[in-house]
Every structure is written in structure tokens, then in C-alpha cells.
Amino acid sequence: MVEERLHYTPSSVPQVRTAFFATLPTGPTRWRRTSLVWQMVRFAIINLKMIRVISLSHHAGRKIRS
Amino acid sequence: MAQARVVVLGAGVAGHTAASFLKKWLGAKAEVTVVSPRPDYNWIPSNIWVGVGLLQPRQVLFPLAPVYARHGITFRQARALVLHPEGAGEDPQPFVEIESTLPGEEGQRSRLPYDFLLNATGPKLNFDATPGLGPGGHSYSVCTAPHAKVAADAFLELVERMRRGERKRFVVGTGHGTCTCQGAAFEYVVNLEFELRARGVRDKAEIVYLTNEYEVGDFGMDAVHIRRGGYVTPSKVFTESLFAERGVDWVTRAHVQGLEPGRATFETLDGAEHDIAFDMAMLLPPFKGVGLQAMDRLGADITARLFAPSGFMKVDGDYTPKAYEAFRSADWPRTYQNPDYPNLFAAGIAFAPPHPISRPRQSPKGTPITPAPPRTGMPSAMIAKAVAHSITDMIQGSPGPTRTASMAEMGAACVASAGNNPFTGTAASMTVYPIVPDYERYPDYGRDLRHTFGEIGLAGHWIKILLHHMFLHKARLRPFWSLIPE
Ligand SMILES: Cc1cc2nc3c(=O)[nH]c(=O)nc-3n(C[C@H](O)[C@H](O)[C@H](O)COP(=O)(O)OP(=O)(O)OC[C@H]3O[C@@H](n4cnc5c(N)ncnc54)[C@H](O)[C@@H]3O)c2cc1C
């Protein structure tokens, strides 16, 4: 699909930009995105990262000192 | 104090969160009344999946009345029209004029007195800004569950025609130069592409993402920068990569001027005019305030004092007009209290942002083509909770607001679906900190790169599914709801 789209001539609209100048993932990168074991690890890591930002933000919702 | 009357206008993410916490914290000390024109709560982020036919509206909606009845919150199915923060004539009791939308009582007006009022009315979906835009015109929307259902029906019909060999072009994006909420358009375009693949007709489709962003991945946040692989990389690179990989083409810097059946005309930042034909277009509308008015004691119109020209309510931000470069993160509101009326607050999309986050740009013809600042679910809920806390404390004797929740001091975690399947689906998980860039603290990118990250994968999709169920559980006020973070 990607290879086919790289050579695809877009519609009449000259502003349309397509794949040619974009960064594309390699095979292993694509594989990791849906690899069950790897994604279980990422699930834990992403959750930790999100919890960190949420707790930083709750800290922002802090009490005003009088 | 006798039982305080707290009125919350709106039952979306912000209003519903605030009302739930107000009742939990104040109990019998306050009568909490929610006013909303629709009978249901809508978990809006999952409308994307309704829009591609994967969910039915009933899976993202539930009726509010029974939930509120169980928790001692009064519900008025009505639309707020006019605020009277000084009361009327000799009577200084503030009140809001509402108009019933309850079947059988439509159009009946009444006065709702309040001691504290929170405006959480969200956006008016301003389809009228672009001729031919929206479900009443020639494009679709996923902003509400019924809109998304109509979009899904059109999408599924086109899928059938593609199965019969026809080729179709889909245009997805923003329907005006000043739109916000690009994240939703992004999610819809990648989900649509995923579903076309899943349904075996991807080779029959051309998909174009049409956006007012200067570069894709701007999201109205002046882009996000992420440290990865020895580089600091802007979100443009990741977004373009996602599109390229999926064969989605994109047009940036576009202001849609108008739509007619199967065709959209647009102007780009260089002033050139173009048109693009489509078989289906899902273009988001720009947002404005819902059109609340305000009157003083003598009946004089004070709408312009309370509301910005956009229709959003002014709170404790610094609204002095300045050059983009002169804006500071400290201009952003902290307590969301109205400066003129201390018992009046706004939260979520309803408060007026003091300035754009993305750099404002206009075409040589003077057309503004720049995303408006987003206020996504997490900050909307966090702001609402902080306001609920302040109102609770003020009812209990505090002289002023006690909590702050500035978007320049809080981060956001966001998961954008890129395909819904438990094994092959993916989603982009992102965190940014802070939401509004703070160039005094973080001179290079305005954000702390240690807490700003993004990646795409199946794990993100699992998180998205988890969030769907968790937030619906929370919104239904089921056991332990208050332990689920915003
Ligand atoms: C398709 C889509 C997908 C999205 N996905 C995400 C996502 O994945 N993550 C995320 O964080 N955010 C997402 N968002 C943004 C998120 O939905 C908003 O940030 C959030 O809904 C804002 O909450 P709010 O309470 O301010 O407004 P809303 O949720 O819009 O609530 C406004 C409420 O006010 C009521 N109202 C309107 N007019 C009146 C009136 N005159 N009187 C009384 N009540 C009134 C409405 O009926 C509604 O109940 C998405 C948005 C869209 C459109």
C-alpha cells in the first residue's frame, strides 16, 4: 500500500501532500506496535507516564494559600 | 447559611463533573441544580466509533435524570438564556432565565435563583460560519452522537457501493479557518481508513485530510515536541508518518469557504482558492459560545461585559489585547471566577481563553487561518473539579476561591484512536506538560520535554477502551466513581 501511494499522483488540488517526503516506519517498528508482549510492557509504561502527568496536574489544582 | 443554591449550566464533561462533586462534598448544605437542554449524557470521545458504525449511540449516551435523582441532584431539562447576576429591580437575588426543552413543556420560561452559578455550557457548533457546512448542509459531523450516527449511515452506504466496485473520495478535517478540536478530525480520518481496510475496500478509496493547521500535528497547541532517537521531533513528523503509512493525503493551512453537494471550496494561507470534490466529507465546525446573554438590575444588556466576542465567558484571565509574542502563560485563568460577579464561574469550553496557543496567521486577503485553543476532556474536568472545590469552600465560609487549575500549570494525557480492534488496533498516546506553553520556564519549546511524550501502538488502544468504560462508569456515578481521576 505504502509503495503504491508513494507514486500516486494526487487529485487536481496542488496543495495535497502525500507520502513521499514523510518519515515512514520500518518493518520492526510496525511489528512492535501490535506485538502482544511488547505492547503489554508499553501498556504499563504509558500508564505510568500518564499517571505522572496527571499527578503533576492535580498538584497544579492546588489550594490557594491565604 | 441556609441551604445554598448552586446552579450548574450544562451536563457535559465540565458541568457533570462539577455537579457530582458539589453534591458529594456539600450534601444537604446545598441544593445543586443542573440545567441542560438534552436529557442524556454523551461520552463524546467515543462518538468517533459511532461515526464509523462500530458503536451505536446508546453505547455512548445515558439518561441523566435517574442518575441525578439517585444522587440528590435536581435536573432541569432546559436551555439557559439570560443571566441576571444582580437580580432584577429591587430584588437583588441573582437568577438565570431558562427555557424548558422537556417534551410537552417546550418553550416554557422560568427563573432559577442561585447563590453560585457555574457556566459549563460548552460550545455552540457553529456550522453557520461556513455556507453548506454540517448535517443540515453537505457534510457530516461527529460532534454529537446523533450526528455521528448519520455519518455512520452514509459511510456504510458508501462501503457497500465500493464493494460493488465504485471508487470514492473521503475528505475529513476542519470546516473553517478558525476551528479547534483537530484531534477529533484526526481520530476520525484514521479510524475511517482502518475501517475501510477492515471491510476490504481500502483500494477503492482516496482519503484527504483537510485542515486549518499550519502543519499537521499542530492540534491548536502550536505542535508538541518529543525527544526521541537523539532528536527533538515535532508532532508534524509523527502525524505525517501516520498519514503516509495509511495512504491518507493531507492539505494544510486551509479555510473552507463553502460547500455544495459533493464539493468544497477553500482558501489557503497563500491566498489561493481551490476546490475539492468528495463523496463524503466529515468537517468539524468552528466553536463559539452558546449565546447566553446577561442583564443588569435595571435590565440593561451587559452581555459584552461578561462574555468575549466569541461568546465564551470572561473569567480571571488577562484579556488585554496584545501581540502574540507578548502573551504570557500567566495570562491564563486560574480560579475561573468572573471578575465582576464573585459567585459566577465558567469551566470547560465555556470559559474564554485569553489568547490563541498556535501562532495566529492570516491569508493576504485577511482570512484568519489558525486553530483556536483546544480545551479537551481532561482539563475541562480538572477545571470543573477545582471550581466545585472553590464553591464548596466559599459556601462554608471562605472569602474567595480556594483552588486553581491553570491550563498553563497542568498537563494533559490524551489517547487518540487510530483503529478499533483488540489485536490489530492502535492509538496514539500522548502527554503534554504544560498544555499552554510556558516560555519563561521552558525557553526552547515552552514545555517540559521530560513529561511530553507520544507513541503509537496497540497498548494505546487498550487504554482507550479502558477509558471509555472507566469514564462512563464515573459519569454514571456508580460505586467508587470519585476515585477515578479526571
Ligand atoms: C468528536 C470529538 C471527540 C473528542 N475526543 C476527545 C478525546 O478523545 N479526549 C478528550 O480529552 N477530549 C475529546 N474531545 C473534546 C471533549 O469532548 C471536550 O473537551 C469536552 O466535551 C468539553 O466539555 P464541556 O463540558 O466544556 O462541554 P460539552 O461536553 O460540550 O458540554 C456542554 C453541555 O452544555 C449543555 N448546553 C449547551 N447549551 C446550553 C444552554 N444554553 N444551557 C444549558 N446547557 C447547555 C450541552 O447540552 C452539554 O450538556 C472530543 C470532542 C469531539 C467533538
The whole-angstrom distance between B456's CA and the closest CA on chain A is 7
Chain B residues 195-234 with a CB less than 8 Å from chain A: 202, 206, 208
At how many degrees (to 10) do helices A36-60 and B377-395 cross? Answer: 30
CATH code for position B46: 3.50.50.100
Q: Is the pLDDT of residue A11 over 60?
A: no
In DSSP terms, B95 is beta-bridged to B84, B113
Q: How many domains does chain B have?
A: 1
Q: What is the pLDDT of residue A6?
A: 40
Indicate the domain borders of chain A.
Answer: 25-65
Tell me, using a 6 A CB cutoff, whether residue B414 lines ligand 1: yes
For residue B42, the CA-to-ligand 1 centroid distance in Å is: 8
For the stretch B40-44, contacts whose Cβ atoms lie closer than 8 Å and that sit 24 or more positions apart, written own/partner, are B40/B64, B40/B145, B41/B11, B41/B12, B41/B16, B41/B67, B41/B475, B42/B12, B42/B144, B42/B145, B43/B468, B43/B471, B43/B472, B43/B475, B44/B12, B44/B13, B44/B143, B44/B144, B44/B377
Residue A3 — pLDDT band, cuts 50, 70, 90? very low
Cell digits of residue A1: 500500500
pLDDT tens digits, B391-435:
999 999 999 999 999 999 999 999 999 999 999 999 999 999 999
Q: What is the pLDDT of residue A60?
A: 56
Angle at B121 between CA B139 and CA B482, to 5 degrees: 110
Q: What is the pLDDT of residue B37?
A: 98
Whether B85 is covered by a domain: the verdict is yes
Do B127 and B287 contact (CB within 8 A), yes or no? no
pLDDT tens digits, B435-451:
999 999 999 999 999 99
* Sites in chain B below the pLDDT cut of 50: none
- Please name which of B416, B435, B379 lies closest in space to residue B13, comparing C-alpha atoms: B379
Q: Does B337 touch chain A (CB under 8 A)?
A: no
The whole-angstrom distance between A28's CA and the closest CA on chain B is 13
Q: Which domain holds residue B338?
A: 4-125+288-362+373-395
Whether B58 is covered by a domain: the verdict is yes
Tell which wins on pLDDT, A62 or A49: A49
Between CA B430 and CA B421 the distance in angstroms is 20
